[in-house]
């Protein structure tokens, strides 16, 4: 870095005193500093609040109560120069705030980590965006003995600075009041001209394509960090650099080379107990046998007995009745499982364990051409593959995103399906259940391994920030779980009803029998399942969990033996992803990719199913 | 990437037993009539006396033992990947492709900043101020440290 430091070409233009309140507020900040928490506190609405860097992949909007001020939440970023797809979203939000009259940025900062936050503030200064700086989590900073000279920082930056504890609503009103006096942060950085020029170019245009000159973003960040360091050193004093001992120790044990594994085992076991045993067992029994079997279905059936038309009667309460099949599958079997899974997932998310899971699983994912970061979409996929497909955006390269989508579509059962599968597997010997686990894991790892070698492109570097472990706030967990359940009901329930209706119509038109017969060579010949299972696979095109539920229903009636249960479960787990997921893949990667994935997964599911049948019969599982 | 790894040498080596100088590899084994020597075995033989030296590049075990022994010998710390658990250093510069450098610098890794390695397995866990970051080995190797000041 030779040459005398020059002042940036952008000269700060003193803005008019913004007396009028802004019309739009963009929340922005480093990952995991509480943007979504502040968003909730400001709007009273609920965005997804999580303790995982990079969870907000979609932009949440809300309104300041009693005003017309729009508030926009954005995905976290470490630099305004967009380095990945999800950061691009925030970059374009900043650009629009720049162009728009009456738009203001509220930068949310972790009060414990002023230096990193100031890197963003300085960039906002270069872009001359009116800003309010919010030092969030000031309670945690205080606990660690960090003192910040707020008036001094305000004077140095030339922007209003406020301190908050967003999760408890402390200081939120001050932020609202400060919106009107937002200013562009002072912009007189001693940055070498060779670095500053291209940096501002990149900042304003975003795309690196036109910036052909060998300009290093890293040198630019380093220059900013140097200045941020000086500012942070002057206005933040640390008495005791050690954090809260317990949270720190917990965070370390969770990634410990030895103790990390027992912790992982306990987490998985707890997840199984909550979702598999409590959700899929106890709750399903209660709702399905108790509520639907004991009250709703008999009651609705007797009510419909008064209806003179047999057609209408069958449509609602017949074998393929909208109430007896569609609603009771969706509400009594799938809903309790989804609800327990999302609760457990929200707890894991908010505690800060998920990024630590990424550390523990890095090795496994590297075999499949991914890195530990891919664990977030995969675990979320256990909740819902469609949601998870959207989250693949946090992965750095195109290749990784494609691989993750393929694996999600192929072998990650969503919670509804998983719950049903677990319940079904509970009825077969443990060795047979193990066949299912090994087959699915084996297929996923081998397909991932092969695909990683065929697909062009590179694996991204594994860099994951580990947020401090925190006790999840009950309110956040609850509201997030409810939001996800609502989303699930909106997406899945209509499809359950549509699927049931399609079956009903096909049955009436005597087409179902034709399809069952047509599917016989495949379903009975290859898989060795009863011919009626064809109907289950048919609705599997709509949703895999619906199909699994149908098979579950069949097996409970004693219609399937051990081998048949495992073969059916393997096939339906690998079966084509549900319609919503296919649409999501198409939206993210185009129809060609979505079609290719579906065309690959479908025959593979049957081939593996057939293979498992042959192997299990050969191993002597057949004679029961 | 790292400047520390010794350059691959094609030069002759001296047999530790008889003192004969030879270039390892190639056809020396076959000339001596070894039945398994088709370039796949993991040992080198002195063409004169037959003294055996394990080939650390081919043999997993020999390489492992060598690395195990190498770690014990103290040497100048060069990158974060070389730091033992619990120790820290001051960053001299970032290496690797520009995308990785931009990412790391945006997370607070910059020259002059002190980092501390918490652990090395299953991945590296590094503390930079109040930030804790987990990275894989090839990323840790891209963070070059200043020479530790003499005590």
Identify the band that residue A191 occupies on the pLDDT scale cut at 50, 70 and 90.
low
Cα B81 to Cα B91: distance, rounded to the nearest angstrom: 12
Segment A257-277, tens digit of pLDDT: 899 999 999 998 998 888 878
Per-residue pLDDT, A4:
40
Task: Using an 8 Å CB-CB cutoff, list chain A residues near B134.
Answer: 255, 355, 358-359, 372, 462-466
Instruction: Judge whether residue A444 has pLDDT over 60.
Output: yes
Question: What residue of A is the nearest CA neighbor of B109?
Answer: A222
Domain with CATH 3.40.50.300 in chain A: 24-238
Segment A193-207, tens digit of pLDDT: 666 666 777 777 665
Mean pLDDT score across all residues of chain A: 82
Best mutation target, A115, A217, A218, to test chain B (most B CBs within 10 A)? A218
Cα A326 to Cα A346: distance, rounded to the nearest angstrom: 28
Per-residue pLDDT, A48:
55
Task: Using an 8 Å CB-CB cutoff, list chain B residues near A255.
Answer: 119, 122-123, 125, 134
Between these two residues, A283 and A394, which has the higher pLDDT value? A283
Instruction: Judge whether residue A381 has pLDDT over 70.
Output: yes
Q: Check B133 against A466: CB less than 8 A apart.
A: yes
Please tell me the least confidently modeled range out of A61-65, A377-381, A454-458, B136-140: A61-65
Domain with CATH 2.30.30.90 in chain B: 80-145
Task: Using an 8 Å CB-CB cutoff, list chain A residues near B90.
Answer: none
Span A188-217, mean pLDDT? 63
Residue A427's contacts (CB-CB under 8 Å, 6 or more residues apart) are A555, A556, A565
Per-residue pLDDT, B29:
61
DSSP A345-367: HHHHHHHT-HHHHHHHHHHHHHH
Q: Indicate the SS3 state at residue A71.
A: strand
Cα B26 to Cα A410: distance, rounded to the nearest angstrom: 47
Residue A360 C-alpha, separation from nearest chain B C-alpha, in angstroms: 6
Token pair, residue A217, equals: 């973003």
Segment A500-517, tens digit of pLDDT: 888 888 888 888 888 888
Best mutation target, B132, B137, B142, to test chain A (most A CBs within 10 A)? B132
pTM over 0.95: no
Cα A281 to Cα A22: distance, rounded to the nearest angstrom: 53
CA angle A373, A488, A273 (to 5 degrees): 65
Instruction: Judge whether residue A404 has pLDDT over 90.
Output: yes
Please tell me the least confidently modeled range out of A134-143, A187-196, A446-455, A478-487: A187-196
What Å distances lie between residue A67 and A21, A131, A166, B25, CA to CA?
Answer: 10, 20, 20, 80
Please tell me the least confidently modeled range out of A54-68, A175-189, A247-261, B27-41: B27-41
Task: Using an 8 Å CB-CB cutoff, list chain B residues near A113.
Answer: 108, 129-131
Between these two residues, A51 and A425, which has the higher pLDDT value? A425
Q: Check A83 against B103: CB less than 8 A apart.
A: yes
Segment B103-129, tens digit of pLDDT: 888 888 988 888 999 999 899 999 988
**What fold, for A24-238?**
Rossmann fold (3.40.50)
User: The tokens 């506190």 sit on which residue?
Assistant: A41
Return the percentage of chain A with pLDDT > 90, whole number: 16
Between these two residues, A474 and B105, which has the higher pLDDT value? B105
Q: Model ipTM?
A: 0.78
The CATH number of domain B80-145 is 3.40.50.300:
no
- Point out which residues pair with A163 in neighbouring strands: A135
Of B105, B118, B120, the CB nearest to A252: B118
- Which of the residue ranges A259-268, B20-29, B34-43 has the most confident prediction, judged by mean pLDDT? A259-268
Give the number of C-alpha atoms closer than 13 A to the C-alpha of residue B9, restricted to the C-beta side: 8
Per-residue pLDDT, A188:
58
Per-residue pLDDT, A527:
86
Task: Using an 8 Å CB-CB cutoff, list chain A residues near B110.
Answer: 221-222, 225-226
- Which of the residue ranges A32-36, A300-304, A509-513, B124-128 has the most confident prediction, judged by mean pLDDT? B124-128
Segment A574-619, tens digit of pLDDT: 987 777 788 888 888 888 999 999 889 989 999 999 999 999 888 8
Q: Is B127 on the interface with A (CB under 8 A)?
A: no
Count of A-B CB contacts under 8 Å? 121
The bridge status of strand A131-136 relative to strand A103-110 is parallel
DSSP B44-98: EE-TTT--EEE-TTT-HHHHHHHHHHHHHS-----BGGGSPTT-EEEEEEE-S-H
Token pair, residue A440, equals: 């699915």
Element (H, E) at A551: helix A544-556
Residue B55 C-alpha, separation from nearest chain A C-alpha, in angstroms: 27
Task: Using an 8 Å CB-CB cutoff, list chain B residues near A462.
Answer: 123, 134-136, 139
Of A112, A216, A218, the CB nearest to B130: A112
């Amino acid at each position: 870095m030779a040459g005398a430091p020059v002042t940036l070409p952008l000269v700060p233009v003193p803005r008019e005193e913004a007396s009028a309140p802004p019309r739009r507020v963009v929340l922005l900040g480093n990952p995991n500093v509480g943007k979504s928490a502040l968003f909730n506190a400001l709007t009273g609405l609920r965005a997804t609040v999580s303790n995982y860097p990079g969870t907000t992949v979609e932009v949440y909007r809300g309104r300041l109560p009693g005003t017309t001020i729009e508030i926009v939440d954005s995905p976290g970023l470490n630099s305004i120069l967009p380095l990945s797809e999800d950061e691009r979203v925030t970059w374009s939000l900043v650009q629009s705030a720049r162009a728009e009259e009456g738009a203001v940025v509220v930068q949310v900062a972790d009060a414990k980590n002023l230096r990193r936050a100031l890197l963003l503030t300085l960039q906002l200064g270069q872009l001359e965006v009116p800003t309010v700086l919010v030092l969030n989590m000031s309670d945690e900073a205080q606990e660690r003995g960090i003192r910040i000279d707020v008036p001094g920082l305000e004077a140095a930056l030339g922007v209003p600075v406020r301190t908050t504890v967003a999760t408890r609503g402390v200081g939120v009103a001050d932020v609202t009041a400060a919106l009107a006096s937002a200013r562009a942060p002072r912009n007189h950085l001693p940055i070498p001209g060779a670095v500053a020029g291209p940096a501002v170019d990149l900042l304003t245009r975003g795309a690196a394509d036109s910036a052909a000159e060998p300009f290093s973003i890293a040198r630019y960040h380093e220059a900013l960090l140097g200045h941020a360091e000086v500012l942070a050193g002057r206005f933040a004093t640390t008495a005791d650099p050690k954090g809260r001992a317990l949270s720190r120790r917990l965070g370390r044990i969770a990634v410990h080379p030895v103790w990390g594994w027992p912790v992982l085992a306990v987490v998985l076991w707890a997840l199984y107990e909550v979702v598999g045993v409590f959700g899929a067992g106890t709750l399903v029994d209660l709702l399905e046998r108790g509520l639907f079997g004991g009250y709703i279905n008999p009651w609705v059936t007797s009510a419909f007995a008064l209806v003179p038309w047999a057609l209408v009667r069958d449509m609602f309460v017949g074998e393929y009745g909208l109430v007896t099949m569609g609603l009771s599958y969706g509400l009594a079997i799938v809903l309790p499982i989804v609800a327990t899974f999302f609760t457990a997932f929200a707890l894991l998310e908010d505690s800060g364990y998920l990024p630590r899971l990424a550390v523990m699983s890095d090795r496994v994912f590297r075999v499949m051409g991914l890195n530990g970061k891919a664990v977030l979409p995969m675990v979320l996929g256990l909740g819902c593959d469609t949601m998870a497909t959207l989250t693949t955006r946090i992965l750095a390269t195109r290749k990784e995103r494609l691989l993750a989508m393929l694996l999600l579509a192929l072998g990650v059962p969503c919670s509804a399906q998983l719950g049903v599968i677990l319940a079904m597997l509970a009825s077969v010997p443990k060795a047979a259940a193990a066949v299912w686990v090994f087959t699915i894991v084996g297929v996923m790892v081998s397909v991932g391994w092969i695909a990683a070698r065929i697909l062009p492109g590179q694996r991204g570097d594994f860099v994951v920030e580990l947020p401090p472990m925190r006790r999840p706030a009950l309110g956040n967990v609850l509201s997030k779980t409810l939001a996800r359940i609502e989303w699930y009901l909106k997406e899945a329930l209509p499809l359950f009803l549509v699927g049931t209706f399609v079956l009903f119509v096909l049955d009436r038109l005597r087409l179902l029998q034709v399809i069952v017969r047509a599917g016989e060579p495949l379903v009975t010949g290859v898989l060795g399942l009863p011919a009626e299972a064809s109907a289950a696979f048919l609705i599997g095109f709509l949703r895999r969990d619906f199909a699994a539920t149908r098979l579950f229903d069949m097996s409970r009636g004693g219609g399937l033996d051990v081998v048949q249960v495992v073969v059916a479960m393997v096939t339906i787990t690998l079966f084509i992803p549900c319609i919503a997921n296919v649409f999501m893949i198409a939206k993210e990667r185009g129809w060609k990719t979505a079609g290719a994935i579906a065309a690959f997964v479908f025959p593979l599911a049957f081939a593996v199913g057939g293979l498992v049948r042959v192997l299990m019969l050969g191993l002597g599982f057949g004679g029961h | 990437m790292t400047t520390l790894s010794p350059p691959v040498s094609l030069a002759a080596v001296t047999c530790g037993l008889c003192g004969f100088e030879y270039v390892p590899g190639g056809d020396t084994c076959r000339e001596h009539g070894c039945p398994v020597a088709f370039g796949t075995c993991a040992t080198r033989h002195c063409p004169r006396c037959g003294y055996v030296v394990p080939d650390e590049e081919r043999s997993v075990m020999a390489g492992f033992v060598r690395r195990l022994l190498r770690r014990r010998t103290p040497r100048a710390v060069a990158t974060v990947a070389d730091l033992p658990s619990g120790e820290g250093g001051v960053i001299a510069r970032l290496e690797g492709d520009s995308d990785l450098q931009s990412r790391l610098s945006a997370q607070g890794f910059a020259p002059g900043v002190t980092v501390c390695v918490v652990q090395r397995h299953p991945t590296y866990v590094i503390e930079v101020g109040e930030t804790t970051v987990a990275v894989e080995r090839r990323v840790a190797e891209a963070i070059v440290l200043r020479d530790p000041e003499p005590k």
